[in-house]
Amino acid sequence: MNLKRAFRVWQRNATVYKKLYRSSLTLNFFEPMLYLVALGYGLGGFIKEIMGMTYIEFIAPGIVMSSAMFAACYECTYGTYVRMVYQKTFDAVLATPISFSELVLGELLWGTTKSLIYGTIIILVISLFGLIKSYFAIFLIPLIILCGLIFASLSLIATAIVPGIDSFNYFYTLVLTPIFLFSGIFFPVEDMPEVVVKLSQINPLVHFVNISRAFSYGKITQTLIYDLTIVIVYLIVLLPLPFILLKRRYLL
Amino acid sequence: MSIVVGKNLTKYYKKFKALDSVSFEIKEGECFGFLGPNGAGKTTLMGMIYGFILPSEGEIKIFDITLNDKNLPQIKKRIGVIPQDNNLDPDLSVLENLIVYARYFDVPKKKALKRATELLKFIKLEQWSNINVRKLSGGMQRKLIFARGLINDPDIIILDEPTTGLDPRSRRQIWDKIEFLKHSGKTLILTTHYMEEAEKLCDRLAIMDKGKILIIDTPKNLSDKFGGNLEHVYLNMTEG
């Protein structure tokens, strides 16, 4: 595998994005802002304090991670699927020296880049709200990249197995929405029934939210090692799968 | 010298045999045509030549290099593909389509721009260069796909049904361009189901049906041997 050729695929997506970013940037940015304002201030008015923080302080670091997650997911489900099936971009690329694995890597890195773009914007916004209180917050950047890689991989796996574009609804409703709602962004999952607590331990976003909260407020504890280990295990397990599964779907 | 050699190429899709032990040799600088009805295995064979479809059995050598995962990039660097489907980038302009494609071949930026400008002149689309490709007519899009396949200045050019679905005028324009490439010493590999096209452009022809090559010869020899014009030969040999 040649990184430069994978970069060419990334570069193609970046070229298209540069032309169209105005419309998508505002939209993708709008949704997390809605959560932050509507829940942070709206619901926050009824919640005095949660784990020693105001409600908006509690949810803001999690919103950074969920934005990063959704950015990679949209890109590597709908975006990749359209390029693969409708626009036949994959066909065009594969007629050049770029190999299938390089193509997949390019898509994966592009999805991760989208996470980085949207995650970083949310960090900037919440720091304007005064919600970033520690220099450790700088580590949110590599954390977003890790989150992007994991969810880009997961989404490419979905893209490799869906029979058609409408089937992504299942992925969003049955996989991503529960991951998002039970991630500990909006309420601590530890207070839920035991089944939910146990299930939440296999939810990768839970761990990203824990780490993000710790970095944002500089509360570095030993449990971070546990959270980091889990997400790294996720990365190692998920990363090879898009290459295998997409190849199986695509190459004849 | 043979520039492409296929030996006993076989391809199964599940149990269906799309190609059945096909062998052929294509000489440097010739225009070699694969002629046959829909489903004869032409597109599968083309896909194998540019490494997109893996043979179930058999071997292909291009530029005297055995085609495998490791050698694929260096071979593909010297091949231009003009596919049957429109797979232009719909979000990009005419010029951007060529520039982005040139990057896949690692053509340096300046050189890519120069080459793209020349190619747009060659296909007479230079005044459209900043227009989004969606706004082009079908014929213009085909011409752009044609130009895109030449962006890396390839030694072998694969044309998969280059004029299918074109009006007579656009078709003639494409033929002129193909003639031009032929005279500039490129090796051309063409699939078609148009008799006229095969007769006009190809030095040698392979007639295919049901995954097999039935015969390989020059268009003239074929019609001499079997009497009548090429259309007779084709209709007699294939069952469609």
Three-state SS letters, B113-181: HHHHHHHHHHCCCHHHCCCEHHHCCHHHHHHHHHHHCCCCCCCEEEEECCCCCCCHHHHHHHHHHHHHH
Q: What are phi and psi of A128, to 5 degrees?
A: -65, -35
Asked if A252 lies within 8 A of B85 by C-beta distance, the reply is no
Amino acid identity of residue A107, one-letter, is E
Interchain contact, B47 vs A89, CB within 8 Å: no
**Pairing of β B204-209 and β B57-62:** unpaired
Question: How many alpha carbons fall within 13 Å on the CB side of residue A145?
Answer: 5
- Per-residue CA distances from B235 to A152, B164, B195, B238 (Å): 52, 19, 10, 5
Nearest Cα residue in chain B from A86: B87
Q: Is the dihedral of CA A217, A221, A225, A227 positive or negative?
A: negative
- pLDDT tens digits along B177-214: 999 999 999 999 999 888 889 989 999 999 999 999 99
The reply to whether A13 touches chain B by the CB within 8 Å rule is no
Beta bridge partners of B209: B212
Residue B153 in contact with partner chain A when CB distance is under 8 A? no
Task: Choose among B83, B87, B152: nearest Cβ to A87.
Answer: B87
If you average pLDDT over residues A5-12, what whole number do you get? 97
- Give me chain A's average pLDDT, please: 94
8 A C-beta contact, residue A20 and residue B93: no
Averaged pLDDT, A130-138: 90
Between CA B225 and CA A130 the distance in angstroms is: 87
The answer, yes or no, to whether residue B240 has pLDDT greater than 60, is: no
Measured distance CA(B40)–CA(B213) in Å, rounded: 9
Which of A8, A96, A99, A247 to substitute to test the interface with B, most B CBs within 10 Å? Answer: A96
With both helix axes pointing from N to C terminus, report the angle between B94-104 and B109-122 in degrees, rounded to the nearest 10: 130
Integer Cα distance of B141 and B147 in angstroms = 10
pLDDT tens-digit profile of B65-95? 999 888 999 999 999 999 988 999 999 999 9
Of the partner residues B73, B83, B103, the one whose CB lies closest to the CB of residue A99: B73
Pick A15's closest partner by Cβ from B53, B96, B149: B96
Q: Which residues of B touch A252 (CB under 8 A)?
A: 13, 47, 52-54
- Chain B contact present for A97, CB below 8 A: yes
List of chain A residues whose C-beta atoms are within 8 Å of the C-beta of residue B89: 12, 16, 87, 89, 92
Candidates B238, B199, B237; CA nearest to B220 is: B199
The pLDDT score that the predictor gives to residue B235 is: 80
Cβ neighbours for B177, distance < 8 A, ≥ 6 positions apart: B122, B123, B146
Residues in a beta bridge with B208: B213
CA distance A112 to chain B (A): 21
| Smallest CA–CA distance from B148 into chain A, residue | A92
Express as a percent the part of chain A with pLDDT over 70: 100
For B57, phi then psi, to 5°, come to: -140, 160
Quick one: DSSP state of residue B215? E
According to DSSP, the residues that pair with A53 across neighbouring strands are A50
Q: Testing the interface with B: which of A1, A94, A110, A251 to mutate, by most B Cβ within 10 A?
A: A94
A122: which 2 tokens?
A: 């949310």
* Residue B229 forms contact with A (CB below 8 Å): no
Q: Which of B83, B87, B104 shows the shortest C-beta gap to A8?
A: B104
- pLDDT tens track for A181-203: 999 999 999 888 999 899 999 99
- How far is CA A6 from each of CA A10, A162, A252, B68, B132, rounded to the nearest angstrom? 6, 24, 21, 19, 25
Mean pLDDT rounded to a whole number for chain B:
92
Query: Which residue in the set A16, A88, A251 is minimally distant from B92, CB to CB?
Result: A16
Q: ipTM of this model?
A: 0.91
Are B87 and A88 an interchain contact pair (Cβ–Cβ within 8 Å)? yes
Q: Among B154, B101, B89, which Cα is nearest to A8's?
A: B101
The answer to whether A3 faces chain B, any CB pair under 8 Å, is no
Q: Is B54 in Cβ contact with A15 (below 8 Å)?
A: no
Summarize pLDDT for A65-114 with one digit per residue, the tens: 999 999 999 999 999 999 999 999 999 999 999 999 999 999 999 999 99
Distance (Å, rounded) from C-alpha A164 to C-alpha A86? 11
Distance (Å) from the C-alpha of residue A18 to the closest C-alpha of chain B? Answer: 11
Please tell me the distance in Å from A237's CA to the nearest CA on chain B.
25
